[in-house]
Amino acid sequence: MQVCASCHGADGNSAGGAYPKLAGQHPEYLVKQLRDFKTQAGAKQPARNNAIMAGMAAALSDQDMINVAAYFAAQTPKPGYAHNKSTVALGQQIYRGGVADRGVPACASCHGPTGQGIPSQFPHLSGQWAEYSVAQLNAFAQGPGARNNNEAMHTIASRLSDNEIKAVADYIAGLR
């Protein structure tokens, strides 16, 4: 836990947007993500390509991953805040209604109206750092080589503009 805490915080509430908040995240989702940082048999690279996390995950057994995930899931997430008042309306529209003319579904359709997600399939998003969400949406938009572990998110993120990604990420940061 001390190794995890150095980036993600002892209580799973990281100190800044370079690292995600893990407090209150679904344990099944966390275990899946940890496994995705490991190169699986027959694969050339991990589904999530991150040198730091690949090294951390490589040292974890399946039971270690379950234990770490259970610990962070049991922690209380600290609320986040939207910071850009001028983009809140756009972020809310994308989160709640999507972008129909480009085939972008509402984020809420999978992540829920308050960003609580669905265990193992869709992560808890509410209160997540906007910087981290922007980075992940950009990685999904890049596709192969960046983040290969969710084809639906690759398609969705690739249909959003940079301004839309920033707006929805900021909205998510303040979502409750």
Binding-site sequence positions: 4, 7-8, 53, 107, 110-111, 153
Dihedral (C-alpha) 59, 61, 67, 69: value to the nearest 10 degrees? Answer: 70
Return the closest-CA partner of residue 66 out of 29, 39, 18, 101. Answer: 29
Which DSSP symbol is given to 100?
A: G
Dihedral (C-alpha) 112, 152, 132, 146: value to the nearest 10 degrees? Answer: 170
Burial pattern 103-135, b for ≥16 Cβ within 10 A else e, equals: ebebbbebbbeebbbeeeebbbbbbbbbbbbbb
- Residue ranges of the annotated binding site for heme c are 4, 7-8, 53, 107, 110-111, 153
CA distances from 83 to 70, 98, 115, 145, 173 (A): 31, 21, 18, 31, 8
